[in-house]
Amino acid sequence: MKSVYIAEKPSVAQEFAKALKLDCKREDGYLEAPDAIVTWCYGHLITMSYPDAYDPELKRWRFDTLPFLPDEWRYEVIPSASKQFNIVKRLLNRDDVERIYVCTDSGREGEYIYRLVDQEAKVPATKDKRRVWIDSQTEEEILKGIKNAKPLSEYDNMSDSAYLRAKEDYLMGINFSRALTLKYGFPMRDFLKRDKNVVVAVGRVMTCVLGMIVRREREIRNFIKVPFFKVNAIASLAGKDFDMEWRAVEGSMYFNTPYLYGDKGNGFKERATAEELVARLKKVDPLVSTIVKIDKKTEKKNPPMLYNLAELQNDCSRFFKIRPDETLNIVQNLYEKKLVTYPRTDARVLSTAVAKEIYKNLRGLSSYPPVGVYAKYVVDKEGYKNIHKSRYVNDKQITDHYAIIPTGQGLSQLSRVSELEAKVYELIARRFVSIFYPAAEYKKYSIESEIDGEHFFSTTKVLAKDGYLKVANHSFGRKKKEEAKEGDESEEESLDEALLKAISSLKKGDKLSFKDIVIKEGESSPPKPYNSGSIILAMENAGKLIEDEELRSQIKGSGIGTSATRAEIIKKLSNNGYISINGKTQVLAPTLLGEMIYDVVDHSIKSMLNPELTASWEKGLSMVADGAVTSDEYMKKLEDYVGKLTNNVKGLNNKNQMLYLFNQVSPYYKSKKGR
């Protein structure tokens, strides 16, 4: 009797055959050895049938056929995949096949790919079906995954959530897109002066993300800059100048007055008020302040958490100006070359089991030039031994897979990857090795001085010990200090040694001379537009957008979409013409059509734009996967929601209101002021 190993892609199937050391004969669509068969899918082989497969009359979009809520779901083989499906179907049903090892990607989507094949191929339940769950494609991991393979039935809840996710996207997409297109498609076509009807395509996650992008764009567009005026003293020590900032603390004649700008008390709304303060202080002769407080302390900055897919996509967008789907493709390729662990993960920590063997990864990286010397140091000093006690190891924070880290294997493959892939690998490797190094340490000096009842402040921070920064620092995307994102592992600006020594020797009661007191004008800044990386993080952290504390807590860790789907959502919005992506900056902006779609949804199915709802659906799917909610319970809620909102759209009569809103948005694009 034989075992069948079915992978998601041919390249992965090859790795399983190599790991098993099978003496295989190459056949059409599979590899066969005396006691085993290795075959593969090409991603999805099966898809959900469109409504006209249920009834030819449903091919035409009409209100009287909505809502469409099938009692029994239909599926069909994707035409381009029919040959491979028939090969797989025959193999799985062969009489000499006793056991089936499911080796598709270890996640919800990989589970769904096989389950659909199993369903449509009508594989008998009497076959022994085992699930192989791995985090990398190294030989060791593959063999361990096969050895520890659990009965497929243990993943039934995950399978249920995968089916429900697909049904949810299908029902919302089919019903809402048809209803909104029938209601608004012709008015939108006429407004845009197009020859063809406009299809209003909406989706559970896609429409919510469009809403985030449009709202941010409108905040920026409607933002009114407000000037403010700060008062700075130019202090002098050891023959060197440095700035000190005035603040209206208790004791100041401006404390808690309406003249102040903002809530920090460090600026004025009007220049005249700032000038009044400067004139008063300049009358002090000599222009000398008194130190009333000085703090000297050491601050520590720990290495950041390991990469999950969202964080990696954000950094790749910042450093390399590439889209999230490009990052996913790159890291997937690195995974298939055995260079990194499974990419579609939300976790930023390691498991306890992996931590026990982590020295193997480090040992492998010892021969990788960018971090080799650092990895070798950790191995030689056994700096990995207590990592299981650190914040970088937490089994409770892992659902399907741990963080993305280098395997330490297959380094010869790096000579065959692109320059960009090599850079992404280096980014992952540096982040990984850095967690075994101590925190960076900074010397921080905070000075507060007083003159004529007014207080000036200055804080100086210099790097004392680089710690993990010597590993994490890289040359990717270096920015000017004023442009750098907070939290970057960037080098500290060096400070004149004589000035630093003078500042460190100051004590309370000392005198500090001011060379001048000046006014610095600034203005409030609008929120930053989303870029392709920051939108991914916003999707992952959707709870931060939710005001309701209970709901925010409920969906914590769930977010909008999943690590496997977020990049594709951004790509789909772009392909639909709803958003534009600046190739150089990766900044996202809605198109006129995108804003029109937003307004249509906002005045018909408003909940589709809310992170609360979208994230709660994702949370519900997680609860199904955990066994806390049954498929029937979830499906009932879903059908009620889709049916109710579809019928609401059918009854709307607000076309004139939509045309009014379109006219409000259109001039912005006609004047070419939009980004």
What pLDDT, on the 0 to 100 scale, is given for residue 492? 46
- pLDDT one-digit tens code per residue, 212-232: 999 999 999 999 999 999 999
What pLDDT, on the 0 to 100 scale, is given for residue 495? 61
What pLDDT, on the 0 to 100 scale, is given for residue 483? 39
- pLDDT one-digit tens code per residue, 183-204: 999 999 999 999 988 999 999 9
Q: How far apart are the first and last CA of the chain?
A: 64
Q: CB burial class (10 A; 0-12, 13-18, 19+) of residue 60?
A: exposed
Total residue count of the chain as it appears in this document: 675
For the ranges 247-261, 538-552, 621-635, the lowest mean pLDDT is seen at 538-552
What pLDDT, on the 0 to 100 scale, is given for residue 670? 76
Q: Which of 101, 342, 437, 445 is catalytic?
A: 342
- Of 3.40.50.1000, 1.10.760.10, 1.10.460.10, 1.20.1370.20, the CATH number of 162-222+528-670 is 1.10.460.10
What pLDDT, on the 0 to 100 scale, is given for residue 487? 43
Q: Is the pLDDT of residue 489 over 80?
A: no
CATH 3.20.20.70 fits 227-302+440-523, yes or no: no
What pLDDT, on the 0 to 100 scale, is given for residue 455? 98
pLDDT band (50, 70, 90) for residue 542? confident
Dist. CA 389–CA 356, nearest whole Å: 11
Q: Is the pLDDT of residue 491 over 50?
A: no
Dist. CA 617–CA 559, nearest whole Å: 10
Dihedral in degrees, nearest 10, Cα atoms 481, 485, 491, 494: 30
For the ranges 337-346, 366-375, 612-621, the lowest mean pLDDT is seen at 612-621
What's the per-residue H, E or C state across 150-218? EEHHHHHHHHHHHHHHHHHHHHHHHHHHHHHHHHHHHHHHHHHCCCCCCCCCCCCCHHHHHHHHHHHHH
**Dihedral of alpha carbons 609, 612, 617, 619, sign:** positive
The answer to whether 99 and 3 have CB atoms below 8 angstroms apart is yes
CATH architecture designation of domain 309-434: Orthogonal Bundle (1.10)
Give the pLDDT mean for 95-103. Answer: 97
Range(s) of the chain covered by CATH 1.10.290.10: 309-434
Distances (CA, A) of 198 to 140, 408, 554, 645: 53, 51, 38, 21
What pLDDT, on the 0 to 100 scale, is given for residue 557? 61
- pLDDT one-digit tens code per residue, 239-261: 899 999 999 999 999 999 999 99
What pLDDT, on the 0 to 100 scale, is given for residue 475? 79
pLDDT band (50, 70, 90) for residue 541? confident
Rounded to the nearest integer, the mean pLDDT of the chain is 92
Range(s) of the chain covered by CATH 3.40.50.140: 2-148
Please indicate whether residue 342 is annotated as part of the active site.
yes
Please state, for a pLDDT cut of 70, what percent of the chain lies above it. 94
Look at the domain 2-148 and name its fold.
Answer: Rossmann fold (3.40.50)
- pLDDT one-digit tens code per residue, 164-177: 999 999 999 999 99
For the ranges 87-101, 475-489, 593-607, 654-668, the lowest mean pLDDT is seen at 475-489
Q: Is the pLDDT of residue 537 over 80?
A: yes
DSSP symbols for 557-616: TT-SS-TTTHHHHHHHHHHTTSEEE-TTT-BEEE-HHHHHHHHHHHTT-GGGG-HHHHHH
Dist. CA 454–CA 253, nearest whole Å: 8
What pLDDT, on the 0 to 100 scale, is given for residue 305? 97
User: Helices in 193-323 by DSSP H: which ranges?
Assistant: 206-221, 271-282, 309-320
For the ranges 39-48, 67-76, 486-495, 613-622, the lowest mean pLDDT is seen at 486-495
- pLDDT one-digit tens code per residue, 315-353: 999 999 999 999 999 999 999 999 999 999 999 999 999
The answer to whether 479 and 432 have CB atoms below 8 angstroms apart is no
Q: Backbone phi, then psi, for 514, in 5-degree steps?
A: -110, 125
Q: Is the pLDDT of residue 544 over 80?
A: no
For the ranges 2-11, 151-160, 491-500, 663-672, the lowest mean pLDDT is seen at 491-500
What pLDDT, on the 0 to 100 scale, is given for residue 408? 96
What pLDDT, on the 0 to 100 scale, is given for residue 553? 54
Q: Is the pLDDT of residue 354 over 90?
A: yes
Q: Is the pLDDT of residue 207 over 90?
A: yes
What pLDDT, on the 0 to 100 scale, is given for residue 343? 95
Q: Is the pLDDT of residue 490 over 60?
A: no
Range(s) of the chain covered by CATH 2.70.20.10: 227-302+440-523
What pLDDT, on the 0 to 100 scale, is given for residue 486? 39
What pLDDT, on the 0 to 100 scale, is given for residue 441? 96
pLDDT band (50, 70, 90) for residue 476? confident
| 3-state percent breakdown (helix, strand, coil) of the chain, nearest 5 | 45, 20, 35
